A and B are shown apart, each in its own frame.
Chain A
Amino acid sequence: MATTKSDLVLTMHGIVKTFGGIRALNGANLEVKAGNIHGLVGQNGAGKSTLIKILAGIHRPDTGRVSIRGWHCEHLTPRQVEHLGVHFIHQDRLLVSTFTVGEAMFLGAEPGIGPLPFLNRREMAKQATAILRDNFDVRLPGNALINELTPAERQIVQISRALLRDPAILVFDEPTAALVRQEVDRLFEIIRRLQAKGLTTVYISHYLSEIESLCDQVTVLRNGVDVGHISPKSSSATEIVSLMLNRDIDEMFPKKTTSIGEPVLRLTNLSARGAFSEISLTLHRGEILGLTGLVGSGAKELIQTLFGLVRPQSGVIDIDSERTKVSSPPSAVSKKLALVPEDRRAHGVALEMSVRENVTLASLGRFVRFGFLQLDREKATVNDLIGKLSIRTASQASAVRDLSGGNQQKVVLAKWLSRQSAIYLLDEPTVGVDVGAKVEIYRLIRELAEQGAGVLLLSSDLLELLGITDRILVMYRGRLAGHFDPANSTSADLLSCATGTSNGGPHGSACAESLARQATN
């Protein structure tokens, strides 16, 4: 790379930062060229957020040099950083929901009415509308309320807020976490448009595909050091992943060694009003059965029905060849069904409670004798599970709130593992989890199957489905639309079946045919 010094608008050299004896950063470097979109990737704990907080002036590095637009700074403060033109778009959109677009944009620097110290709401609304129109081609009345906007529109307001301060460098921290597909595309378009106007962007994301399609340069962090400087144009996501993990992508998924046993769950013509109809499928012991579909395909509702959250209208559920009614989550639990819900913050863990309490919450009965908890046995079991799942926590007694997203998800898994269920319903178990934690979750899911449980895995991540499952079912508009063998299908096959653009490619054709086979199974 032939970069002259003057091209670099932001450099961080040899940054070291220790927190209470633990090295978060160990001589990390970041060099961002003017006008580039620069990606920053790394697993959780790789030091991304520490690096960004140092850049923002929130943390002070132990050693190392930061220079922004030619200014070498020893001790950055948030104000200085702002003065130097570096602005941050945070993952959480920091806008007051009862404010108008204009108020939200100008909060902290409100225009007055002439020399009078009154709010000039009309001016704020007018300028807000103009900024949105000129920069983003977005037509929003400046007096619309924030809570009437879509997440993407809020994101745009947030960016406009930063643009008002005349930034030279914008730092996006996981900006797409709450956006849907089209909104992500729109955000990218905006970032590219800002690039055309000469703005430099630092882009941090879990989604490697985003990094690949958006960024000109990528810095990969691992264990507090930058381990790779990649140009995505000339290399692939695979390379980035192996740099992040320091291992090959093929090692991401565990080997499929399971032997498939007796049917443990059989659905016959199961229907629920307005969600899905006439679903028939069989899940065997030792099998990981993948399930996917777009929002509205009924796949999610199917999982919820099996756990007793949605009431089926007609059809039959057999568990271990016995006719069963699952009327509520407690009855599901008593039938050895376990659910790992997608929204773990809302349904999966009690954030304020400790890791130990969360893990044993669903299986307390096992640790009770004469009406009292046997704490030593509980502790031993939890210790065992923490080790097995490599949950990174200071102790069993730490609150789950303090854990990272991936580790929270592992706690949810551990909760059901400690119960030893026969059927696991996993709803998007790896959403919002970094690659390293994903690998551990995959290994764990495979272990569940090897121990003889049946796993029904609902996921939108098609690579994940292809990598880990034994069979994949695709739902479309409330019906089973396809049945795929992961060994000789591609994600394009799954996608076209799920979007209804084909009723099967070369492998999945046979959506209907394969379903017939399945029904006789």
Chain B
Amino acid sequence: MASDLTVPDDAAATKLSAVISSRIGAWFNVGFFIRAGSLLGFVLVIAYFAVAAPGFLSVGNITNVLEQSAILGVLSFGMTIVMIAGGSNVITGGIDLSIANNLGLSAAVYAVLLKTGQPEGVALSLTILTGLGVGLLNAIAVVAIGILPLIATLTVMNICAGFELVITQNTVLQASSPLLAVLAGDGPFGIATLAYVLLFVALILIVVIEYTPFGLRLYAVGGFREAALAAGLSVQRYIAISYILSGLCGSLGAVLSVALLSGSSTGSGDMLLSVVVTALLGVVFSRRVVPTISGSLLSVLFIGFLINGFQLTNISSYWVNGVEGLLILFAVATTSLVKRGDS
């Protein structure tokens, strides 16, 4: 026996199983196919409506879609940032369920302040502060207290809804101001201002999230927390910032919403599902199968064009919810299949 304990023998023994390793061919980049397929799907849908609905591709209609998508888009960006920093696990990962009701609350605050004759600057600042406050509350609940984001933001969502009711008594509050008039009107080339706002906000966030060290670190925190810790990042701070940014997006959406609807309106919470859909669906537009601002912008426009196409071809808008559900299923299934391939 003792003679068997020589070095090479032992070495061979311990690792025998590995001598011939069956490495199942290096993963051909799945993300590439997912993104290509999704883009192709997008193009096909556009092409179909372009043929089926005359005027679908007119500048006026495209502008219309962009304008209609602005609010959803801004909220979706907020949700995306939270998902980036919180990780893609649907149960334990980052999610901000309060974002739609944050919009409702911030819009109510904005409308009330304008109605009571506060100067534009004061009203706007307090509205933004409201959104940031909601974000901060989420951040405290998730980071400082350590509640699962799903639960934490659900309770904050209820708080927002409650305050909104208190402020508005569940009524529609009319509001107007010079800023709102500009936002609701047309900008250069006769294109709606909101369309510009959507693209501008998207551009800023794409740069910040996808082209700065800050953005890269957000992805690290959400992608592999231990790796981020090992790289010396303060993980908690990045997660907290993501919720605060999401809160900011909520109040920004509120301003756009007050402009579009000439006041605050009830039922903002109904937007939540669409926000979740677009943020999840955005994942399939990225090569790495991760949430991105540009992906979310594409998915917001995709849904916008879909709804618009339905209207133009006289398909009942009741179908929209079902289609959104299917898209969620598609996006989540894709990501979980890719994850399985990874492990």
Query: Is the pair A490, B9 in contact by a Cβ cutoff of 8 Å?
Result: yes
**CA distance in complex: A357, B336 (Å):** 30
B270 in the interface, Cβ–Cβ < 8 Å? no
Bound form: Cα–Cα A294–B231 in Å: 38
Q: Are A460 and B17 neighbours in the complex by a CB distance under 8 Å?
A: yes
Q: B211, A118: Cβ atoms under 8 Å?
A: yes
Q: How far is the CB of A400 from chain B (nearest CB, A)?
A: 20
Of all chain A residues, which has the CB nearest B231? A108
Nearest residue (CB) in B for A112 is B213
> Do B3 and A490 touch (CB < 8 A)?
yes
> Chain A residues near B12 (CB, 8 Å)?
462, 491-492, 495
Instruction: List the A side residues contacting B16 at CB < 8 Å.
Output: 292, 294, 460-462, 495, 498
Instruction: Count A/B pairs, Cβ under 8 Å.
Output: 155
Q: In the complex, A462→B17 CA distance in Å?
A: 10
A268-320 residues with Cβ-Cβ distance < 8 A to B are: 292, 294-296
CA distance A462 to B27 in the complex (A): 33
Closest residue of chain B to A147, judged by CB?
B342
B186 within 8 Å of A (CB atoms): no
B231 and A461 form a contact (CB under 8 A): no
What are the residues of chain B within 8 A of A210 when measuring CB–CB? 11
Cβ contact within 8 Å between B212 and A97 = no
Known: A110-B213, A209-B14. A466 touches B4 (CB 8 A): yes
Contact with A along B3-47 (1 / 0, CB 8 A): 111110111111111111111001101010000000000000000
Closest Cβ–Cβ distance, residue B142 to chain A (whole Å): 21
CB distance from A8 to the nearest CB of B (A): 27
A237 touches B215 (CB 8 A): no
- Interface residue tally for chain A (C-beta within 8 Å): 55
B342 touches A97 (CB 8 A): yes
Contact A467 to B7, CB < 8 A, known contacts A145-B29, A295-B18, A295-B21 = no
Cβ-based interface call for A322 (8 A): no
Does A117 make an interface contact (CB < 8 A)? yes
Complex CA distance for A208 and B10, rounded to whole angstroms? 8
Assess whether A99 is in contact with B18, with CB atoms less than 8 Å apart.
Answer: no
B-contacting residues, A99-128, CB 8 Å: 99, 103-104, 107-108, 110, 112, 117-119
Bound Cα distance A415, B226 (Å) = 32
- Which of B5, B23, B213 sits near A463, CB closer than 8 Å? B5
Residues of B within 8 A of A292 (CB): 16
Given A107-B220, A148-B26, A492-B9; A94-B226 close (CB under 8 Å): yes
State whether B9 touches A99 (Cβ < 8 A). no
Task: Kindly state whether residue A515 has any CB partner on chain B within 8 Å.
Answer: no
- Contact between A463 and B13, CB atoms less than 8 A apart: yes
Query: A420–B287 Cα gap in the complex (Å)?
Result: 52
Q: Are A249 and B231 in contact (CB under 8 A)?
A: no
Q: Please tell me if A324 contacts chain B, counting CB pairs below 8 Å.
A: no
State which of A98, A118, A461 has its C-beta within 8 Å of the C-beta of B288: A98
Is the CB–CB distance between A118 and B212 below 8 Å? Answer: yes
How many Å lie between the Cα of A145 and that of B216 in the bound state? 14
Residues of chain A with a CB closer than 8 A to B5's CB = 236-238, 249, 463
A247 to chain B, nearest CB (A): 15
Jot down 15 A-B pairs with beta carbons below 8 A, ordered by A.
A94-B227, A94-B230, A107-B227, A145-B31, A147-B27, A181-B21, A210-B11, A212-B7, A460-B14, A462-B4, A462-B12, A462-B13, A467-B1, A491-B12, A495-B16
8 nearest A-B pairs in the assembled complex, by CB-CB distance: A180-B18, A108-B231, A460-B17, A96-B223, A462-B13, A209-B11, A94-B227, A180-B21
